[in-house]
C-alpha cells in the first residue's frame, strides 16, 4: 500500500524532491527545505487519499509549494523563525483562519486559495498532534 501511495505521490507531485533547491537562496536553505518537504509529505498523501478532483489536488500542491517558499524567505527576516525546526516553523505560519500573507503580493484569489490550503493543513496537523498529546 505504501508503495502505491509513493507512486501516486510521484505522479501528483513529480518535482517534490526538487522543491528545496527551488526554494533556496543559499546552501543553508537546503536542509530546512528538505525538512519542510518531509513535514508536508504526510499531508500530500492524505490529500491523495481523499479522492479530490485533479484540479483541487493541483491547487493544494501549488499552494504548499508557495507556503514552503514563503517559509524559507521569512527565515531571513525573522531570526526566531530561523531557529525553529520545520514542523514548528510551519505551525508558526499557519492558523485556523489561513496562511501567511505572501510577499511580493499575490492576487486576492490566489491568497484565498492559499488560505484554504493552510486551513486544511492546520486541521490536519492538529488532528495528528491530538492523539500524541493524549498518550
Predicted confidence (pLDDT) per residue in 45-62, tens digit: 999 999 899 999 999 999
Question: Cell digits for 26?
Answer: 543559499
Predicted confidence (pLDDT) per residue in 68-109, tens digit: 999 999 999 999 999 999 999 999 999 999 999 998 999 999
Domain ranges for the chain, please list them: 2-134
CA dist., res. 39 & res. 78, Å (int): 20
Three-state helix/strand/coil letters over the chain: CHHHHHHHHHHHCCCHHHHHHHHCCCCCHHHHHHHHHHHHHHHHHHHHHCCCCHHHHHHHHHHHHHHHHHHHHHHCCCHHHHHCCHHHHHHHHCECCECCCCCCCCCHHHHHHHHHHHHHHHHHHHHHHHHHHHC
Overall pTM surpassing 0.85 (yes/no) = yes
CA dist., res. 86 & res. 97, Å (int): 20
Residue 1 has pLDDT above 60, yes or no: no
Amino acid at each position: 500500500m505504501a508503495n502505491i501511495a509513493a507512486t501516486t505521490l510521484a505522479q501528483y507531485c513529480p518535482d517534490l524532491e526538487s522543491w528545496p533547491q527551488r526554494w533556496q537562496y543559499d546552501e543553508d536553505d537546503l536542509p530546512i527545505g528538505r525538512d519542510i518537504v518531509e513535514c508536508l509529505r504526510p499531508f500530500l498523501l492524505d490529500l491523495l487519499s481523499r479522492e479530490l478532483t485533479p484540479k483541487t489536488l493541483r491547487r493544494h500542491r501549488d499552494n504548499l509549494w508557495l507556503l514552503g517558499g514563503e517559509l524559507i524567505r521569512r527565515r531571513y527576516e525573522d531570526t526566531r523563525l530561523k531557529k525553529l525546526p520545520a514542523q514548528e516553523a510551519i505551525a508558526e505560519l499557519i492558523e485556523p483562519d489561513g496562511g501567511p500573507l505572501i510577499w511580493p503580493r499575490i492576487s486576492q484569489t490566489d491568497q484565498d486559495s492559499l488560505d484554504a490550503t493552510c486551513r486544511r493543513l492546520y486541521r490536519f496537523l492538529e488532528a495528528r498532534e491530538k492523539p500524541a498529546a493524549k498518550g
